[in-house]
Amino acid sequence: MTTLLIKDNYVKELKNGYPLILKTALENEDAAIEEGTLVQLVDKQGQYIATGYYGVQNKGIGWVLTRKENEQIDMVFFVKKIREAVTQRENFFEADDTTAFRIFNGEGDGIGGLTIDFFNGFYMVSWYSEGIYKFREDVYAALAEVVNARGVYEKKRFNVNGQYVEQDDYVSGEKGEFPIIIQENGMNYAVDLNDGAMTGIFLDQRNVRKALRDSYCEGKTVLNTFSYTGAFSVAAALGGAMKTTSVDLAKRSLPKTIEQFSVNAIDYEAQDIKVMNVFDYFSYAARHQLTFDVVVLDPPSFARTKKMTFSTAKDYPKLLKDALAITAENGVIIASTNNASFNMKKFKTFIDKAFKDAKKRYKILEQHQLPEDFQVPHNYPEFNYLKVVFIQVL
């Protein structure tokens, strides 16, 4: 256990439950601490504040695990945390038309840097720092104590000396025959837990896909930009869209999108799937006077191509303006971002700017943030990174 002296102006927040240990909160900043070391946070008077672990992520240098001085960080601790999290999601386990959801959401469930997702009997554990990965054995023992997994897979989302240490994502139990099919509100999605960084579906958009399918697509043309495996396009097609167009520059998006349509018995040949840069597609569509009733915008926070870089924090108004140019009269734009560096209020200023610049009026129809299973820390909404706004063009 290493003691970390906390600056006065950070003590109150940490006592109030702020879970992140920021580098700037430390009085003795230069301490060289090993990843995975348990740290005791104390104020200048030597008074106990919290216990955490050291693990460097982009946001901070570690996470608070408990504010009880005598609580041991051991397998019993992890059992307690995972059990609490699983109990809170009982309604998800019981639902028969949804078989994929998050059972443990990092800091929202009391252990920053660790998430666990459920995929139709399989569990996928994501580790966000070398530090949290040091607790691997206890976490897996705890998981086995709480749930009955068919199989367990993991993703290491951190680098050791600039590289992933292990390639194999398989951990224990049955090996899945991927893709496995999961259900989400009655829709099918093909998922691969053993295929690089991503699984094929972003579970945090569940409610957005449902809203899109249920209320916006009947008889409409739908453009899905940054479409990845086409999850939104599937929802749109199942919602009665006349036609969907999916645009993503990754070559793999084509077979993956065909697969997602196929597992839902949708004729993919009746849909458009374009492997190209979204910004080139905007010019193409404008040149051909194509318009869409519904446009989904879900860019990555940052993207770099040979020709350009795109950052949601800087370029979202421009993206919206481009989208507006090819949105039909009275159409709907679904603007989404997972950039944690700005909040919903700020995101709405981007929307407002884009419409003002385009001299158009709009109405916000609905908005979404993280769904219930993506628990965030009470009092700290800044950890609720997802922001989705359904905008009606007037």
Least distance (Å) between residue 231 CB and ligand SAH:
4
Q: Which amino acid is at 295?
A: V
Least distance (Å) between residue 188 CB and ligand SAH:
15
Q: Which amino acid is at 243?
A: K
DSSP type of residue 269: G
Which residue, 86 or 234, is less far from ligand SAH as judged by CB?
234
Buried b (16+ CB within 10 A) or exposed e, 18-37: bbbbbeebbeeeeeebebbb
Least distance (Å) between residue 306 CB and ligand SAH:
11
Which residue, 232 or 350, is less far from ligand SAH as judged by CB?
232
Which residue, 22 or 263, is less far from ligand SAH as judged by CB?
263
Cα 178 to Cα 144, 267, 288, distances in angstroms:
22, 22, 40
Which residue, 77 or 347, is less far from ligand SAH as judged by CB?
347
User: In this structure, are residues 138 and 78 in contact, taking their beta carbons and an 8 Å threshold?
Assistant: yes
Residues near ligand SAH (CB under 6 A) are 202, 205, 226-229, 231-232, 247-250, 253, 277-279, 298, 300, 303, 305
Which residue, 255 or 394, is less far from ligand SAH as judged by CB?
255
Q: Which amino acid is at 225?
A: T
Q: Which residue has the tokens 């906390």?
A: 6
Closest to 301 in 3D by CA, of 202, 193, 166, 188: 202
Number of Cβ within 10 Å of residue 7's Cβ equals 14
Least distance (Å) between residue 100 CB and ligand SAH:
13
The enclosing H or E element of 336 equals strand 327-337
Least distance (Å) between residue 177 CB and ligand SAH:
22
User: In this structure, are residues 5 and 31 in contact, taking their beta carbons and an 8 Å threshold?
Assistant: no
Which residue, 20 or 223, is less far from ligand SAH as judged by CB?
223
Closest to 258 in 3D by CA, of 275, 281, 283, 240: 275
Which residue, 304 or 363, is less far from ligand SAH as judged by CB?
304
Least distance (Å) between residue 70 CB and ligand SAH:
44
Least distance (Å) between residue 189 CB and ligand SAH:
9
